[in-house]
Amino acid sequence: MAPAYDFPGDDSSSSNSDIHSDRRIATTHHSGFNEIAALEETYQKATYQDVGIQPDEAVSHFADELDRYTTDLDVSPAEKRAQVLQLVDSYYNYTRRRANQLQDLHSRQQSARHGSWQGGMEIDDDEGSVVGLEELRRAEEEAQTWDLLRRILPLRHRDPAAHAHKTSVQSPTRSRKEWWDEFIIADSFAKERKVVLEWLQNSASHGPPVDELVSELQQNAERGDILAHGWLHTRSKIKLQKSVNGYQGVLDPNIPGVADSHLGSNTLITQLDPDSMTRQTRRLEPQDEFFERAIWLGCFEMLRRGYAMSEIRDWCLARTELWRAAAFAPLPLSNPEDEDEPDFDPASMVLWNRVCYKTSRDGGTSDYDKAVYGLLAGDVDSVERVSKSWDDFLFAHYNALLRMQFDSFLIKHAGEDVGRVANKFAASEVLKKSKNPRTVGKDLISRLETDPRTRDEASRTLKLLQGVIIANELDQHLHHQGVALGEDANKIQESRLIPKSAVLPPNVDVKKYIGLSDHDSMRILTHILIIDTTLDRINGFSAEGEFDRIYREKENIIAGYISYLRLASLEEMIPLYCSKLHGHRVYETLSRNLIHIGDNNARVNQLKIMRKLHIDIAEFAKAQPAIYLQDVKASEAECEAKKNFKILEDGPATLKYGRIVKPDFFGLDDALTIDQADDIIIRSLEWLMLVPGLLKETCEYVILAYKYFLKRTHLTAARALSDRVSGREILRTKTSASIRGSDQDGGPGWFDEFASSATPAVVDDSTIDWEELTVTIRNLWELECLVNALDIMETLSSLAGLTREENSNPREVWLEVGKQIRLAKECMKPVLKNWLLSSKKADKDFKLLREAYIPETVMVFVSSLHFVGTSLSRDNLLECMELAAVIAEKGSDLAQEFIKCGRMKELLEAFASCSKALAIWTSDKKSSQPGSKKMREMGWSRELWAVKP
């Protein structure tokens, strides 16, 4: 299927850094850059900050493949399982190709450097920076890790519907392959050990070529390019001895003359058969010893890498040493499966095994020939003697285990003759030493972690990961890794991105686990977790109860990687990885990592991606405001406005301006004064506006936001909310009601339009209670009107300040004053009559807001009318007197609030000041004109208030 997202360009996709060191939990706080702190800072500021993180090409490729193989939900479990395994294959193919490319580039750079000393080739600038050995190692280890997974996951996550095909061959003669297949089918442990062994062989095959490994020994053999003809230097000595002394036939070292006159050496062999050195206890010429060691080293490496017998034969044939290949033929365990032996004799195989074991212990002339026979016999000690890496030591044990398992199988099932042969000779005891076959892998990996020869390599991130996969402890490792990330993220302060929910057991070494700054390892672990979890769910494993907690802690890995994607400006990948989480964490992680996006086009694109990924965008949109309101504990917030909402200056009212209103009581600039937590809440509501439907939920969340802002006296945030998520736009966006735009009507009349003309049909949801919805929309309108009224009266306060500072003001100022007072009157209408009293259920927050805002807001409105009445028209003073009459009416909800807060006297003084101004204002420039339409409608008369001398 098509990708669910469009990737950013790959212009900076590869950062070929020189060294990629392991970054562990134990060291993250000692580096100069604290990544979790940067993540939290970007979250708190709700904006992207450049922290210098450059993603490499693998990030895009892994996301692309993940989207390609795991987002098709309309398939059967078997098909889904096949898709997941194909995903693992694709990751292996990519990382293998990448490791090979780096190796080729490194080789070319090495050749160029060596060539430049001799005036030869130069490094091409287009090939980028120098590929370091550490980068090569990490690339190779990652490819090995995915190779291991693609081999072992099909065994551990079998298709429950598939039945194992069992074969039981009863014919008297069976081929080696038939015996081997029956053994593999019968022994589940053998299957997995065979897989691990094949993985180790494949990993080794990507090392330096065998001929390159033996080249130094070959040079010391002083034979130029001659590979054939065996021991050249020793043969020449023997021929010379025969010629000098006139001997015929084979030299006998026991003849006195030969022993004393072998050209000055009494330790040189006298015959050239392969056993002559051990039989005569003599040596080869030094050059031929190098040649011999080179051949045994080559044979060991070919067996170690799983070469086919045909390849081993060809290699030995080129050196005229074909007999060596014949010695390996009975069971080379090559990969892929090698030549079969049709007429297979189990007794011969068992005997051959013990002969090889004896040779590995007591025969041979060097460590490598002993190791070759030890490898064939299932001996561990002789193979470990030439082992150099963690892989080599692991190979020594798994090879021995598998060979001796097959040996035991043959002894048990091939008849009594085989048993009698086995009892006559000693064999490897590796199976006896491993008492519990279920814990062999775990015990071996633990031993390699403490063995001085492998301890350092075993502690590397990807070797640790390979170890836990082999030990079948991947689930536990991923769980502990998630817990470690949670502990680290919350070490300095509480993290909202990666919550802490548990602690690591005291016996767990935290140094084994990576930190957030190891981006490559985070990428690998994230995709392994997704694959492992997906296979579990396909097989019917349910994460419930205690397992649900474990899954959530594992998912800290994915959450950490998602936050890295955010820091790397790869937001379009975030929904893909969030879709791999489960439960509410999908929406919480999405929200916390996308909230910084402010452009609506980018938001819409994110919603499109979510739809393609089958993420419920309605749940996402509803979750966002709930998350951020909970962050600030909005429902528990105290009503600080009851003490803090004071916007009138102290002092008595003046004749012309009434009580002075504090200038700029909202704040100088929304962008500077709005709190980041408040801005995030508004952003979450902007996301909610982009999702179709959800009218009731949108209105309810906007009301909750208004409640929180007003209770905390965050007036700037409340004003920003009314601008960015206005009630008018909510109805225009989420209903089909005919509501004029703000360009046609900038006032609060949108609710009247809705209430007078809208029907339930305008809402695309038949389950909504229309009456309840109407009340909810009314409450939103009333809250918005309060905020807008306060905003307008702040503007009037600023205009009044200008008129006080300057005696003469331009006409534009007075026009603006007139415009603002008209808007203030419209916005104050719902505030002056049953404001927030229409709710069906008692709302304690509404009660608190009425107590906090009605008295002060009404007083400011009276002061505004006073100022405009003495400056423009006495009609505003008359409206002030009308307001006094309304408040004085019996049962007035406004009067109750003034009485409750003890400010009725203050209100009466404000009205008295207005009446005084009206009475003595005799020079009204409009007094000679007829009364206004409103005066006639209300029955007002200015003359009643005129004071005549």
Gap between the Cα atoms of 571 and 749, Å rounded: 40
- The number of beta carbons lying within 10 Å of the beta carbon of residue 850 is 20
| Residue 120 pLDDT | 44
- The number of beta carbons lying within 10 Å of the beta carbon of residue 292 is 23
- Helices (H) and strands (E) counted in the chain, each on its own, are 45, 0
Gap between the Cα atoms of 262 and 815, Å rounded: 126
Gap between the Cα atoms of 413 and 404, Å rounded: 14
- What's the chain's length in residues? 949
CB of 881 closer than 8 Å to CB of 911:
yes
| Residue 673 pLDDT | 72
Choose among 853, 496, 487: nearest CA to 676: 496
Tokens encoding 619: 């749940």
Gap between the Cα atoms of 610 and 597, Å rounded: 15
Gap between the Cα atoms of 39 and 51, Å rounded: 10
Q: State the DSSP string of 129-175.
A: S---HHHHHHHHHHHHHHHHHHHHHHHHT--TT---------SSS--
| Residue 6 pLDDT | 44
| Residue 694 pLDDT | 93
Gap between the Cα atoms of 551 and 122, Å rounded: 53
Give the Å distances, CA to CA, from 249 to 266, 268, 276, 768. Answer: 19, 17, 16, 111
| Residue 766 pLDDT | 78
How deeply is 501 buried, as exposed, middle or buried, from its count of CB atoms within 10 A (0-12, 13-18, 19+)?
Answer: middle
| Residue 495 pLDDT | 85
| Residue 36 pLDDT | 55
Gap between the Cα atoms of 548 and 182, Å rounded: 40
Choose among 203, 179, 187: nearest CA to 306: 203
Average pLDDT across each block of 10 residues of the chain; the chain has 949 residues. List them in order: 44 36 43 52 51 83 92 81 94 96 87 57 54 90 97 88 56 82 89 94 92 80 68 74 70 63 61 74 78 88 91 87 82 69 87 92 86 93 95 96 93 86 88 85 94 94 96 94 90 83 86 90 96 88 72 93 91 95 93 92 96 94 95 91 91 85 77 82 96 94 96 94 94 88 80 84 82 93 96 91 76 88 93 90 92 94 91 87 89 91 91 86 47 53 50
Choose among 818, 874, 663, 794: nearest CA to 809: 818
First to last CA, the chain: 92
Name, in order, each residue with C-beta under 8 angstroms of 254's C-beta and a sequence gap of 6 or more: none
Gap between the Cα atoms of 947 and 949, Å rounded: 7
Looking at residue 492, what DSSP letter applies? S
Categorise residue 500: left if φ over 0, alpha if ψ from -120 to 50, beta otherwise: beta
Gap between the Cα atoms of 515 and 37, Å rounded: 13
CB of 810 closer than 8 Å to CB of 783:
no
| Residue 265 pLDDT | 58
Tokens encoding 545: 């109860």
- Residue 208: asked if its preceding bond is cis (omega within 30°), the reply is no
Tokens 């807060």 identify what position?
A: 901
Gap between the Cα atoms of 480 and 502, Å rounded: 10
Q: Which amino acid is at 489?
A: A
Q: Which helix (H) or strand (E) holds 485?
A: helix 474-489
| Residue 631 pLDDT | 92
